[in-house]
Amino acid sequence: MSARGFGRSCGALDQRLIGVCAERGWTHLMDTRFEVRDAQHLAGLLADEGIADPGAIGATGGSYGGGMSMALAALRDRTMLPDGSLVPWRSPAGTPMRIAAAAPEIPWTDLAYALVPNGSTLDYVADARYSGRIGVMKLTFVSALFAAGAATGHYALPLVDPQADLVTWYAAITAGEPYDGNPVVERVRAELSAFHSSYAIDDSTPPAPLLISNGWTDDVFPVDEALRLQPHAHAAPGGRDRALPPRLRRPARPGQGRGRGPPRRGAGPLVRPTCGASRWSRRAA
């Protein structure tokens, strides 16, 4: 599927200024309340048409799609409304829906930390969310991603939508330090951490079984995006029964190409923290 604001989902030039695309069809940067809910709506339509089993939906994707599949797994049988509230996931015809398992490839779990890290992620604590002062932006990557999105997607005009004001957010972050006391930057951090990061989704419902892959040599979404989730899942209600320790695997493909080092075979292992996947995935389906 094309995420909201890209491709034929309001991303094409001939769509952006007409109808629903002009009103709210811009990208929200993989927002749980919008793009993730869009994917749930599509899965619900497929279930209502008898194409998909509503209780055995799988999710996978790489990078941007990895962020999507992480959020779908964290929600599992819930959906997040535009006001941030969680309700049971139902298809348009009212059928209960559920993610059975997910396999995110090179995803993020905390988007604010992934793009502007500050060293607050610790892989041995249960709560490793973004905290403390604003970190140092990955300028080359963030600028490239912003430019790519502007070239191929649909951004809201500045100050039109406070939930998706990517142009204003980018200008505030790239203006440089000091970030301390900057209300725009603080709003960006709060928005990305709360609604664009699977780590922040309420974990009172256990996530679907997960098999997560991140590359050691990936400078955009490295292994800490996966590692922070394991102790968090372990500490959640019922977590000791479902969270397995991280497992290291040798990659079957060259090292991640977004790192500083050249991609090469055997560049390093992928980390695959397994949260209830492998031997329990059949049981979930």
**Choice between 232 and 148, residue whose per-residue pLDDT is larger:** 148
CB-CB contact of 253 with 212 (8 Å): no
Task: Return the closest-CA partner of residue 208 out of 192, 229, 228.
Answer: 229
Ordered by start, the domain boundaries in the chain are 31-137+176-257+265-284
Kindly report, residue by residue over 125-171, the tens digit of the pLDDT: 778 888 889 999 999 999 999 999 999 999 999 999 999 999 999 99
112: amino acid identity, one letter: A
Q: CB 250: neighbour CB atoms within 10 A?
A: 9
How much is the average pLDDT of 39-63? Answer: 96
Contacts of 275 (CB under 8 A, 6+ apart): 207, 209, 210, 212, 229, 230, 233, 242, 243, 244
Distance CA 278, CA 281 (A): 6
Kindly report, residue by residue over 265-284, the tens digit of the pLDDT: 544 444 444 444 443 333 44
Distance CA 38, CA 71 (A): 12
Distance CA 110, CA 103 (A): 17
